[in-house]
């Protein structure tokens, strides 16, 4: 496969995805198609089902119907850890770090499945333990440097400033070596400066790791600034889909989401 055709391959595809909670249809007939290397935005008013879609994609919920395909592999109904191994990593709307552990170890947990040694080797500190731990430390520091967190390596995660915690979550997700990165409201609670910095970080991650990013966001400036394509959700259904500027100028979207 040459580079040209690779750029156009679809990485994530969902077909007719749906889930109900009791009588509430949270997500209905959701189709999306994200190409490799794309920065894709998922927007919509509160309660539109955005995070539910992330939870469906990462196996937290099992869809009632429809299919999820990553790189052509069917991930429907798989467990969270298998989906992580298949290559989807995520961050959370309300930050979920390993708060009592050092920043470096947070990233090392993300590296867990890529740097194996057995429990016994760890307890007895056999040569493999030292070798693998060293490789892990080097890789984790590398990732922290990418996000400008190397100075915080020994800090407890919960003692980081808010913006850095967001970055650490992305660093931890990147440590799992994903094909697709899901960011759930990465700019929530950030001031304009931090948001600007975050936009640069996200773009940088995409370029540096050739990553595909699907993000949920409320901050219109951020969405308009970095997303190439958008899907707008309203009451669990797709309201509009397409190029960012087109979608943002769509009168339906303006009414539903941005107000009159």
Contact set with other proteins (CB under 8 A): 58, 60, 80-81, 84-85, 89-90, 92, 96-101, 105-106, 108-110, 112-113, 115-117, 119, 122-125, 127, 129-134, 136-137, 154, 156, 172-173, 175-176
Residues 66, 18 contacting (CB under 8 angstroms):
yes
Phi-psi region of 43 (alpha: psi -120 to 50; beta: other; left: phi over 0): beta
- Shortest Å, Cβ 80 to other proteins: 4
Q: Which is nearer to other proteins, 124 or 220 (CB)?
A: 124
Proportion of the chain in helix, strand, coil states, percent, rounded to 5 = 45, 25, 30
- H helical segments located in 97-161: 103-110, 119-124, 127-146
Minimum distance from residue 168 beta carbon to other proteins (Å):
11
| Least Cβ distance, residue 254 to other proteins (angstroms) | 34
Cα separation of 98 and 214, whole Å? 23
Neighbours of 20 (CB within 10 A): 13
Query: What is d(CA 108, CA 87) in angstroms, rounded to the nearest whole number?
Result: 17
* Residue 129 or 209 having the CB closest to other proteins: 129
Q: Please report how close the Cβ of residue 81 comes to other proteins at its closest, in angstroms.
A: 5
d(CA 4, CA 9): 9
Q: Which is nearer to other proteins, 28 or 176 (CB)?
A: 176
Using the minimum distance from each CB to other proteins, give the nearer residue, 117 or 235: 117
Closest C-alpha among 6, 70, 59, 56 to residue 28: 56
């Amino acid at each position: 496969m040459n580079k040209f055709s690779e750029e156009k391959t679809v990485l994530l595809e969902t077909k007719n995805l749906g889930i109900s909670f009791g009588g509430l249809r949270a997500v209905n007939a959701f189709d999306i198609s994200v190409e490799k290397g794309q920065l894709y935005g998922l927007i919509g008013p509160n309660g539109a089902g955005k995070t539910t879609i992330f939870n469906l994609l990462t196996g937290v919920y099992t869809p009632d119907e429809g299919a999820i395909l990553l790189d052509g592999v069917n991930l429907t109904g798989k467990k969270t850890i298998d989906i992580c191994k298949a290559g989807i990593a995520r961050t959370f709307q309300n930050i979920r770090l390993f708060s009592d552990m050092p920043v470096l170890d947070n990233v090392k947990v993300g590296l867990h499945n890529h740097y194996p040694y057995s429990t016994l080797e760890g307890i007895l500190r056999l040569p493999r333990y030292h070798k693998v731990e060293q490789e892990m430390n080097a890789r984790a520091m590398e990732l922290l440097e990418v996000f400008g967190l190397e100075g915080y390596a020994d800090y407890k995660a919960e003692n980081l400033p808010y913006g850095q915690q967001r970055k650490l979550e992305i660093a931890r997700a990147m440590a799992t070596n994903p094909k697709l990165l899901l960011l759930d409201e990465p700019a929530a609670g950030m001031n304009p400066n931090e948001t600007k910095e975050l936009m640069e970080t996200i773009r940088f991650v995409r370029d540096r790791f050739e990553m595909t990013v699907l993000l949920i966001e409320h901050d219109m400036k951020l969405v308009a600034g970095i997303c190439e394509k958008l899907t707008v959700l309203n009451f669990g259904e797709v309201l509009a889909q397409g190029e960012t500027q087109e979608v943002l100028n769509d009168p339906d979207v303006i009414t539903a989401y941005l107000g009159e």
